[in-house]
Every structure is written in structure tokens, then in C-alpha cells.
């Protein structure tokens, strides 16, 4: 078995610029899909997470239903739904990119909503008492007292979910959206060099995911320095 690394040298511009960053005539792009999906998904996730936490059942039950539905179906299926359903409903085809982004936001918001809920519930009840007793409204309490503490507790699971979103964008290739995996498929079929191509693909995904997890560790130590932590980190040793 012989390797021909020349195909990477010859195609890296297309792969990285077009595939990863979405700069080129095809649009799309892994990061151009992943980053808005994370941002919009988080916003929807906060709404869903907070809805789940209210005592008003007509708000919390639909949120529970939403989470249970989207956690119970595969992402590929949701992408297909949007791909086939949106033209049925609106009567016109949307670009691949918009369909993929919509599917990602709706799907990931279910997971992110659960992370937000767990984060808010990790804040001691006494904080709610203190904030409400001082005359803050529910919204002010959430914004200034609860969410800043909840986000700190959420960072590890949030970054894990963001890495999952980043890697899952490869599924957008099934509806033909141009992103890293799709670009690699095109090159590998043209050059008939699948092994080199997919190894390169793995390396690029890994570098991006690893950078994210390194960044999260730095963010975690910056946002919750020792003087803010009331409890020491538990370490298990043998």
C-alpha cells in the first residue's frame, strides 16, 4: 500500500477554505454552520431550559415534550425532515445551508436546554431566596444572580456539547451542503485516494475539537478562580 500525500498538498486550499471556513463559490462551510448553530442553539436552549423550570405547567410541559422528542430521534432524521418538510410547508426550496442550520438549532437546543436546566438547578436555593427577598424581579434574579453562577457550572458540559455540534456538522453533507466532509468526499472521489483524504479529515476535526477543549479549560480556570470557588475540586487518587 502506497500513500500519495500530494493530493493533500494539491487540494488543501479547497478543503480548508471552502470546506472548513466556507470561503468560496459553494458557500456552506463547517465553521459557518457550527458557530451560528452553537450561538442560536444556546439562545433557544436557555429559553427551553428556563421554561422547563417554571412551575406553570402550560409552559413547562411543552418544553419537556420538546426535549423528549428531539432527544429521542437521530439528528440525520431531523435534517431529512427539514429538507423534505420545509418545501412542503412553504412551497419553496431553501438553500442547503439554511435547512441544515435550522435543523441543528432545533435539535441541539434540546440538549443545550437540558444543560441549562441542570446548571440552574446546581445553584443553591438560598441564592433565589436572597435575590427575591431583596426585591429583584424574576428576570433580574436570573440575569444577575442565577445565570452567572449556572454558566460557570455549565462550562464543561457546554463545551462537550459544542464539540459534538462541531463534529455533527459532518452530517450536513447528506443533504449536499458543502462543508469539510463533503469537500473531502468530492476530492477523494475525483482523485480516488480515500485513505489519505479521510486521514486528513480526521486530523483537521481532531485539531479543531482539541483546541476547543483546551480553550474551555483555560476559560474555566479564568472564569472561576480559586477565590470564587467555595468548594475545592474533588480529585480521586489511587
Partner 1 sequence: MLGYFVNSLFQAQQPAECSLLVAEQVRFPPDVPFAPKGFPGAGLLDFVVDGPTKQGYQDIVMITFRQVNKWFGATHVLRDVDLKVRAGEVVVVCGPSGSGKSTLIRCINKLEPIGQGEIIVDGRSLSNPTTDLTALRAEIGMVFQQFNLYPHMTALQNITLAPVKVRKLSREEAERIARKLLAKVGIPEKADHYPAQLSGGQQQRVAIARALAMQPKIMLFDEPTSALDPEMISEVLDVMVELAKEGMTMIVVTHEMGFAKKVAHRIIFMDEGRIVEEGGPEEFFANPKEERTRSFLNKILVH
Residues that bind partner 1 (CB under 8 A): 124, 126-127, 129-137, 140, 144-145, 148-149, 152, 227-230
* Identity of the residue, 153 or 185, whose beta carbon is nearer to partner 1 in the bound complex: 153
CB of 129 to partner 1, least distance (A): 6
3-class state of residue 46 by DSSP: helix
* Identity of the residue, 230 or 238, whose beta carbon is nearer to partner 1 in the bound complex: 230
CB of 228 to partner 1, least distance (A): 6
Cβ(141)–Cβ(72) under 8 Å? no
* Identity of the residue, 222 or 227, whose beta carbon is nearer to partner 1 in the bound complex: 227
| CA neighbor of 16 nearest in space, from 171, 145, 177, 203 | 203
* Identity of the residue, 137 or 221, whose beta carbon is nearer to partner 1 in the bound complex: 137
Cα dihedral 160/165/168/174 (nearest 10): 170
Helix/strand/coil (H, E, C) string of 216-231?
Answer: HHHHHHHHCCCCCCCC
* Identity of the residue, 189 or 229, whose beta carbon is nearer to partner 1 in the bound complex: 229
CA distance 139 to 41: 21
CB of 227 to partner 1, least distance (A): 5
CB of 138 to partner 1, least distance (A): 9
CB of 154 to partner 1, least distance (A): 14
* Identity of the residue, 54 or 137, whose beta carbon is nearer to partner 1 in the bound complex: 137
3-class state of residue 138 by DSSP: helix
Q: How many CA atoms lie within 13 A of 86 on its CB side?
A: 16
* Identity of the residue, 91 or 225, whose beta carbon is nearer to partner 1 in the bound complex: 225
Written as nine digits, the cell of 28 is 456552506
Alpha helix (H) residue ranges in 54-178 = 57-71, 75-90, 96-121, 125-133, 138-141, 147-168
CB of 153 to partner 1, least distance (A): 11
CB of 230 to partner 1, least distance (A): 5
CA distance 165 to 40: 12
Amino acid at each position: 500500500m502506497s500513500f500519495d500525500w500530494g493530493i493533500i498538498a494539491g487540494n488543501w486550499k479547497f478543503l480548508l477554505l471552502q470546506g472548513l471556513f466556507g470561503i468560496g463559490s459553494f458557500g456552506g462551510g463547517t465553521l459557518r454552520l457550527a458557530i451560528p448553530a452553537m450561538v442560536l442553539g444556546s439562545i433557544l436552549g436557555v429559553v427551553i431550559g428556563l421554561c422547563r423550570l417554571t412551575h406553570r405547567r402550560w409552559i413547562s410541559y411543552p418544553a419537556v415534550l420538546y426535549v423528549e422528542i428531539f432527544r429521542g430521534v437521530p439528528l440525520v432524521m431531523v435534517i431529512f425532515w427539514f429538507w423534505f418538510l420545509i418545501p412542503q410547508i412553504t412551497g419553496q426550496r431553501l438553500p442547503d445551508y439554511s435547512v441544515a442550520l435550522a435543523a441543528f438549532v432545533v435539535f441541539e437546543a434540546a440538549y443545550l436546554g437540558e444543560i441549562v436546566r441542570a446548571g440552574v438547578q446546581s445553584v443553591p436555593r438560598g441564592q433565589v431566596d436572597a435575590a427575591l427577598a431583596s426585591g429583584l424581579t424574576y428576570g433580574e434574579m436570573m440575569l444577575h444572580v442565577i445565570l452567572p453562577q449556572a454558566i460557570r457550572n455549565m462550562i464543561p458540559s457546554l463545551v462537550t456539547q459544542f464539540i459534538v455540534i462541531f463534529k455533527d456538522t459532518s452530517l450536513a453533507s447528506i443533504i449536499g451542503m458543502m462543508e469539510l466532509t463533503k469537500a473531502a468526499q468530492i476530492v477523494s472521489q475525483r482523485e480516488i485516494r480515500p485513505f489519505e483524504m479521510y486521514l486528513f479529515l480526521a486530523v483537521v476535526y481532531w485539531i479543531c475539537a482539541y483546541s476547543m477543549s483546551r480553550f474551555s479549560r483555560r476559560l474555566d480556570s479564568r472564569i472561576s478562580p480559586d477565590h470564587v470557588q467555595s468548594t475545592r475540586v474533588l480529585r480521586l487518587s489511587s
